[in-house]
């Protein structure tokens, strides 16, 4: 007996997450940035196993060796060595953990703390919301790098204190972004209807507010992570962050500035690592933001 076709075919309705991924995947720049971000994350997590040498291992007979593609280069030291004979490639890989990895950690903490405060403030009214609003305006009038330098000056130099300072400097930015997004969402008609229908604040938050915060979270996280990396390297460059011989990219830049004409690769490579890190983060963030907006429209 011939099989009959299903006259009631099941239509698979893609979830917003699946739709966002499909739109994101069509963006070549965003996918390139995603591969770069994945490589950066891999270097951060597996630095001790991927680096050919220890970060501070010295080869005293190979000082200031140029990269391998130069006439005097050596393939065993692909990016050359610095003035103490340390392998530049290994130091850059270990530096990814100190710069990018710590930047991600600072942003996650700022997102959790600042986002929580922003949600509470956005769902509040009256005196509490007014105090939070004016307090955030005061903090956001000061640049994050200046706030970080002020905190480090109080706490003392060092990478750990730098992370505390940058987290404290980024938290008000996340609080303001989430606060504005929640406040705007609370004014919409469907939440008013949910409130009139007897919905509790938890139901309004879970089913109405949180699903519509992805735009604000992605946008602020992209800016926050780029800012965290730049602030960590800037504070390190000023000598207030990670102290030598730690291979943090900003500290590597500061140590090599006097070698810029003698051994330009010792300056160019850490600077290029900072540039590419910020670039791939912004490529992924912008692509994700465009995909979310297209799906929501």
b/e code 217-227 from CB counts within 10 Å (16+ = b): bbbbbbbbbbb
Asked whether residue 296 carries a pLDDT value surpassing 80, the answer given is no
- What is the rounded average pLDDT of the residues 267-285? 94
pLDDT tens digits along 64-84: 999 988 888 888 899 999 989
Asked whether residue 127 carries a pLDDT value surpassing 80, the answer given is no
Q: Residue 144: what pLDDT?
A: 76
Q: Residue 71: what pLDDT?
A: 83
Q: Which domains are assigned to the chain?
A: 26-59+66-296 (1.10.3720.10)
- What is the rounded average pLDDT of the residues 92-98? 94
The radius of gyration of the chain's CA atoms, rounded to the nearest angstrom, is: 24
Tokens read off for 20: 């966002």
For 88, 121, 210, 218, 240, the CA distances from 185, given in Å and listed in that order, are 49, 13, 10, 16, 41
Tokens read off for 244: 């030598």
- What is the rounded average pLDDT of the residues 139-168? 83
pLDDT band with cut points at 50, 70 and 90 for residue 13:
low
Asked whether residue 238 carries a pLDDT value surpassing 80, the answer given is yes
pLDDT tens digits along 189-222: 777 777 777 767 777 777 777 788 888 899 899 9
Q: Residue 134: what pLDDT?
A: 67
What global pTM score does this model have? 0.88
Q: Residue 187: what pLDDT?
A: 79
Cα–Cα dist 90/247, whole Å:
9
Asked whether residue 268 carries a pLDDT value surpassing 70, the answer given is yes
Cα–Cα dist 171/178, whole Å:
11
Q: Residue 91: what pLDDT?
A: 95
Look at residues 273, 284, 297, 283 and name the one whose alpha carbon lies nearest to residue 44: 273
CA 22 to chain CA mean position, Å: 23
């Amino acid at each position: 007996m011939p099989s009959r076709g299903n006259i009631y075919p099941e239509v698979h309705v893609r979830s917003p997450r699946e739709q966002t991924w499909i739109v994101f995947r069509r963006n070549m720049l965003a996918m390139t940035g995603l591969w770069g971000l994945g490589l950066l994350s891999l270097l951060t997590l597996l630095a001790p196993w991927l680096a050919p040498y220890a970060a501070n291992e010295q080869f005293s007979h190979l000082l200031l060796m140029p990269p391998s593609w130069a006439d005097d280069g050596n393939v065993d030291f692909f990016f050359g060595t610095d003035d103490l004979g340390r392998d530049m490639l290994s130091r850059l890989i270990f530096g990814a953990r100190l710069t990018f990895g710590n930047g991600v950690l600072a942003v996650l903490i700022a997102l959790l703390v600042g986002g929580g405060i922003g949600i509470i403030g956005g769902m509040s009214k009256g005196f509490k919301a007014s105090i939070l609003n004016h307090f955030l305006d005061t903090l956001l009038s000061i640049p994050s790098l200046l706030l970080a330098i002020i905190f480090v000056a109080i706490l003392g130099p060092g990478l750990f204190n730098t992370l505390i300072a940058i987290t404290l400097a980024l938290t008000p930015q996340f609080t303001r972004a989430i606060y504005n997004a929640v406040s705007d969402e609370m004014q919409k008609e469907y939440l008013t209807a949910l409130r009139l229908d007897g919905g509790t604040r938890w139901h309004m938050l879970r089913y109405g507010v949180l699903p519509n915060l992805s735009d604000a979270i992605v946008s602020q996280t992209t800016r926050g992570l780029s800012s965290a990396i730049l602030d960590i390297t800037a504070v390190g460059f000023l000598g207030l962050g990670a102290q030598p011989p730690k291979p943090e990219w900003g500290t590597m830049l500061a140590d090599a500035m006097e070698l810029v004409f003698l051994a330009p690769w010792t300056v160019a490579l850490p600077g290029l690592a900072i540039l590419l890190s910020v670039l791939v983060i912004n490529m992924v963030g912008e692509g994700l933001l465009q995909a979310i907006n297209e799906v929501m429209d």
